[in-house]
A and B are shown apart, each in its own frame.
Chain A
Amino acid sequence: MSDIVTAEPGAARTEPRRPPRRPAKYRRLRAGLAPLPWIGPAIVLIAVVVIWPVVVMVQTSFQNVSALGITLGSAGFSNYSAVLDNPNLPGILLRTVIWVAAVVSITMFISLGLAQLLNQRFPGRRMARWAIIAPWAASVLMTALIFRWMLDADHGVINIFLHDLGIVSSFNSNEADWLGRPDSAMAWMIVVAVFVSLPFTTYVLLAGLQTIPDELYEAARVDGASPWHSYRRITLPLLRPAFLIGAVINLMNVFNSFPIIWEMTNGGPGYQTSTSTIFMYDLKSTFVGQAAAMSIINFAIVVVIVAAFVRLNRRSLQEAR
């Protein structure tokens, strides 16, 4: 993993010193421009396609835009204050924290086990690995739709199954209406979010497992360590970098997650199953300026969370080198 070490001025000079025929400034310019052919295209691509729309979005957050998209003039900070004063916001923020914490922690926990499982040798392992890919290959929107279909109170196959087990007593009852009740809806949507996150994180961990040399395990076994002991002492520490990469990426994706909640409950009833991303999208149809302000707030929240995460794990990220 990239370590958070600042660039040292001396490190760039690897070639032997030339006789001072050219001025030092020219040499430094050359050294300064040296990365350009390598990272230049990436910078251009990001600046043009990603950064510019961000600038537009920041501008919009200070404008008064009507529900039909017509810009009516400057709004100063009123969009921000409107968003922050929205009575639904505290509940939405709390729910966002719960959503992200639950999905990421459950996903990473299960991924550890799944990666370990898929790292073993057994017949048909390739097929098993392909099957795990399914939720990643299918679009999240479609997965959300099929889960909504399966949870339908009238004919959903999950309800049919639970009915056969005796857990759901009758169809078209309140208890069968999983997505109509906020708490059960959130629980199921967390299940779906974990489901679609697992393939990626499992593969990140699996790749990480691959880089751990057998010799370490052999040595531990020779020394008489139990399987659990060598898992704790060898596997987990060496997996840490991969684990952290997977967790950070998962965290960002879950925070930004949109289709699952939008398709399964639309954030409703009211805003009782909305996260901050859903709320931002809902604002977009009516209060465009506020939606832009909410996006900026969201961005700030994610940056803070990720920065905190990276800071806490700085040492283990550095060790990866």
Chain B
Amino acid sequence: MAARGLTAQRPAAGRARRAPGRLPSPRTAIIAAVAYIVAIIFILPYVEMVITALRPQGELLGRDYLPHHFNWSTFTNMWGSGYGLTSSVLISLEIAGGATLLVMVVALPAAYYTARRRFRGRLAFLLLVLATQILQPTVLIVGIYKEYLNFNLENISPVWSLIVVNAAFNLAFSIWILNAYIGSIPVELEEAAMVDGQSRLGAMFKITIPIAMPGIVTSLIFTFIAAWNEFITALTLTTNPNQYPLTVRLDSFRGAYEVDWQHLFGVSVVATIPVIILFALIEGRVVGGLTAGSIK
């Protein structure tokens, strides 16, 4: 692929600076074309989701690319009370947002300290963290539920428990990524700030965090998406349809005798929108090029 050996491309920060009025070079055009094709391939299955959601019941199994009739009402009536979509979206936002926040608060200090200081048990801590990345709620659900009961948590909204569970299972990844990013930032930068009068904590906030932003944002996105799409724990800890986050709500469209495919696919497309919005807002920071050039 021609994209592979290209050199001397400045990493991402802004738009290409070229003389106004000049067309992009043929190489850029080819690259762009390939990229567009790849992008289209990536969203094709989700386009198919939308198309299927728009199929009227009689054309659901039609052997055609597009139905003759588009049933737009799927996307309008899904917001009705029968489907409980709005409440599920809010609950999912609470869980995913809360878990992400909790992960940030817990992982940042841990990763910072682990990256900067060599303390007794550091290796053990990192290996513990690695080991938990391998474990998933799918296999541990019975034990999780047992704890839930032991702590009498069924008397408060399951959202709190779900925030904690999702945070714990995504902690490992964030600690790893942040540890790597912070570790690659030279200590000298912080020490220079401390010479200028900052405390250690202040140096962390003013210097390290901004530079480690791509790592922070990566772990933020990762945790949010993981919590947003988590299913098994949410299913086990919720007892009532008005407590369902989106994942459980979607599953309820698969009934005993038939599947409501249109709403299933329609709602799942809608469910991806908050994630994409989040990503669009902060994507620039992941590959923002803030690190380029500042590290020598």
Which residues does A use to contact B, with CB under 8 Å? 1-2, 4-9, 11-12, 31-32, 34-35, 37-39, 41-43, 45-46, 48-57, 60, 113-114, 116-143, 145-147, 149-150, 154-155, 157, 160, 171, 195, 198-200, 203-204, 206-207, 209-214, 217-218, 220-221, 225-231, 241, 245, 249, 252, 256, 258, 277, 280-281, 288, 291, 295, 298-299, 302-303, 306, 320-321
Q: What's the Cα separation between A173 and B218 when bound, in Å?
A: 45
Tell me if B175 counts as interface (CB < 8 A to partner A): yes
User: 8 other contacts beyond A214-B10, A217-B8, with CB at 8 A cut-off?
Assistant: A35-B117, A46-B129, A57-B143, A122-B35, A145-B265, A160-B64, A203-B287, A306-B134
How many residues on the B side are at the interface (Cβ–Cβ under 8 A)? 119
A204 smallest CB distance to B (angstroms): 8
Q: A35-B117, A134-B43, A171-B63 are in contact. Are A46 and B171 (CB under 8 A)?
A: yes
Please encode chain B, from 1 to 43, with 1 for each CB lying within 8 Å of some chain A CB and 0 for all others: 1011111111110011000000010001101101110111011
Instruction: Report B-chain residues with C-beta under 8 Å of the C-beta of A5.
Output: 118, 123
Instruction: Report B-chain residues with C-beta under 8 Å of the C-beta of A199.
Output: 42
Would you call B36 and A299 a contact (CB within 8 A)? no
Q: What's the Cα separation between A222 and B91 when bound, in Å?
A: 56
Would you call A121 and B28 a contact (CB within 8 A)? yes
Instruction: Report B-chain residues with C-beta under 8 Å of the C-beta of A130.
Output: 276, 279-280, 283
Instruction: Report B-chain residues with C-beta under 8 Å of the C-beta of A160.
Output: 63-65
Specify which of A7, A41, A42, A200 is in contact with B129 (CB 8 Å cutoff): A42
Would you call B114 and A129 a contact (CB within 8 A)? no
Would you call B139 and A295 a contact (CB within 8 A)? yes
Closest to B14 in A: A121
Would you call B146 and A1 a contact (CB within 8 A)? no
Q: What's the Cα separation between A35 and B106 when bound, in Å?
A: 13
Specify which of A50, A135, A241 is in contact with B168 (CB 8 Å cutoff): A50
Q: Which of B45, B113, B131 has the most CB of A within 10 A?
A: B45
Closest 8 CB pairs of A and B: A53-B143, A227-B5, A56-B143, A49-B168, A131-B39, A38-B113, A53-B140, A139-B229
Q: Which of B126, B135, B167 has the most CB of A within 10 A?
A: B135
Would you call A252 and B268 a contact (CB within 8 A)? no
Please encode chain B, from 274 to 285, with 1 for each CB lying within 8 Å of some chain A CB and 0 for all others: 011001100100
Instruction: Report A-chain residues with C-beta under 8 Å of the C-beta of B141.
Output: 53
